[in-house]
Amino acid sequence: MDQFTLNLLVVGATFALYIGIAIWARAGSTSEFYAAGRGVHPVLNGMATGADWMSAASFISMAGIIAFSGYDASTYLMGWTGGYVLLAMLVAPYLRKFGKFTVPEFIGDRFYSQAARNVAVICLIVASITYVIGQMTGVGVAFSRFLEVDNTTGLFIGAAIVFMYAVLGGMKGITYTQVAQYVVLIIAYTIPAIFISLQLTGNPVPALGLFSNDVNTGAPILATLNDTIEALGFKSYTGQHDSTLNMFLFTMTLMIGTAGLPHVIVRFFTVPTVADARSSAGWALVFISLLYLTAPAVGAMARLNLINTFYPNGVEQPAVELSQIETAPQNLWVRNWEKTGLLTFDDKNGDGRIEYNANNDTNELNVNRDIITLANPEIANLPGWVIALVAAGGLAAALSTAAGLLMAISSAVSHDLIKSQINPGISEKGELLAARISMAVAIAVATYLGLNPPGFAAQTVALAFGLAASSIFPALMMGIFSKKINNVGAVSGMLVGLVTTLVYIFLHKGWFFIASTASFSDADPMLLSIKSTSFGAVGALLNFITAYVVTGMTKEAPEDIQELVESIRIPKGSGAATDH
């Protein structure tokens, strides 16, 4: 059986599974559409949260960034994992105890203001739309290679699949679909990693193989990788480091952005009790760690295998001849990925060889970071079924997170805008229809924006984390842990955090019409050399300062609101939370 047919069968089987689950778990009420009827088992919710969390950025893009950035890319691992701990400890249980359907609903009630709720909706939509662009980028990358269609067609197919199970099933359908998607993606990620770790180090555990000896050189594999890339003019893999300030701020942005992501927070609204929310958070951390402990090994080993493709006799020898790249069976992966436009090479000096080095003037190879995980089994010449499995895993990761984000957007529009303001008297059936229409519109917008993403999947997602960090996270923290912050302070803080972060990102990226795109890149120094992806932590600080200053200049929150905050914080057993 040829590779394309195998890919089609495996991916098609997973899609059929997702749609079948959506039909089985069709939402019949607003409670099922928004919160899966609050009846999801903590272990299953932990798996669904893991799938919701491990997006295209985690599955497709993160290992690629680690492969090319080395030590500096550890910020993704530290930020995303640490942020989830913050979410599990400081946010999720308290919001579940509050017993609402959405994050903006909590903010509106806590800050006794419709304006606060509306601003939270705006913040949620801006961050979620930015995040979902990264997922659609990942869908396009996976489809363009494995099902041999262009990115645009791949985006439309992925959007159609999400439409079928998200619009039909709502949170109930999405939850059980994400359980299946987690199983698919974790198997797809770990199996090739085990194969490659065995090939290069003889150790079947990738996380341990990363610290084992290379079977060819006998030296530690990281030492071999360091020597190899330094010989090509690149910075040391384990010592690569840019700015300590930027690294710290980026890690903080990812951490607090994680704790402010509405599509992850709402997962904890689907369990029966506060105790179940805490339990499912623990299970989710276990499920997430299975991939995150493997990712550094995937990135490092993929980089070494990539170099060995073009320097099969060692970097001290001439690069492989162009004719061998185009004809040798072991280099079939190069030709496959060249067709997608995500890997390109140009024989600049006309010597018939493809040089790969750190000099932009002489380097003849360009590799998109997003292909590393997906191309990994092909680079290592693994069996065809492993390649097909990775294709299914990449799509599962992208689609699961996209569905969760679209669910958050849909709930905000239908519940926090239509039900709350535009038509308070709407029937449950009407609200359910409005939620499904909102979901369909969100899918259409996300697909359109995914056609021209502003960066690699992980970079685009990092911008979304910055927006969530600067706007939603501080409001949640102050709403839960500060009794005196009032509505004016909260609204002012959210607006300052969101606007300053957006302006900084647009200036840094050169997206304003008054700025030349050629004049700004993510490496250009602006405020203390802080990159756009790291500014969310600064925006969050401005949010906190603004809220406290404005509250100090105005009347503090009413007594009943302060009592409400006290009732949320003080644990009263682990029984069922207040329902909506």
How far apart (Å, rounded) are the C-alpha atoms in residues 328 and 318?
17
Predicted TM-score of the model (pTM): 0.82
Digit-coded pLDDT (tens) for 473-503: 999 999 999 988 999 999 999 999 999 988 8
What pLDDT, on the 0 to 100 scale, is given for residue 316? 86
Please provide residue 6's backbone torsions phi and psi, each rounded to the nearest 5 degrees.
-65, -45
With contact defined as beta carbons under 8 Å apart, do 544 and 478 qualify?
Answer: yes
Q: What are the residue ranges in the chain where pLDDT is below 50? A: 456-457, 511-523, 525, 573-580
Q: Does domain 3-301+384-468 have CATH number 1.20.1280.290?
A: no
Cα angle value 24/104/544 (rounded, 5°): 140
What pLDDT, on the 0 to 100 scale, is given for residue 148? 74
What pLDDT, on the 0 to 100 scale, is given for residue 476? 92
Cα angle value 70/254/151 (rounded, 5°): 70
What pLDDT, on the 0 to 100 scale, is given for residue 574? 42
The number of residues in the chain equals 580
What pLDDT, on the 0 to 100 scale, is given for residue 62? 84
Domain boundaries, the chain: 3-301+384-468
How far apart (Å, rounded) are the C-alpha atoms in residues 123 and 119?
6
What pLDDT, on the 0 to 100 scale, is given for residue 210? 92
Q: What's the burial of 152, exposed, middle or buried (CB within 10 Å: 0-12/13-18/19+)?
A: middle
Helical H segments across 25-102, by residue range: 30-35, 42-53, 56, 62-69, 74-86, 92-98
Roughly how many angstroms between the first and final C-alpha of the chain, as a whole number? 53
456-478 burial, b for 16+ CB within 10 Å, e for fewer? Answer: bbbbbbbbbbbbbbbbbbbbbbb
Cα 335 to Cα 146, 326, 456, distances in angstroms:
13, 7, 22
How far apart (Å, rounded) are the C-alpha atoms in residues 416 and 124?
11
Strands 365-367 and 343-345: antiparallel
For the chain, the farthest-separated pair of C-alpha atoms sits apart, in whole angstroms, at 79
CB count, 10 Å around CB of 336?
17
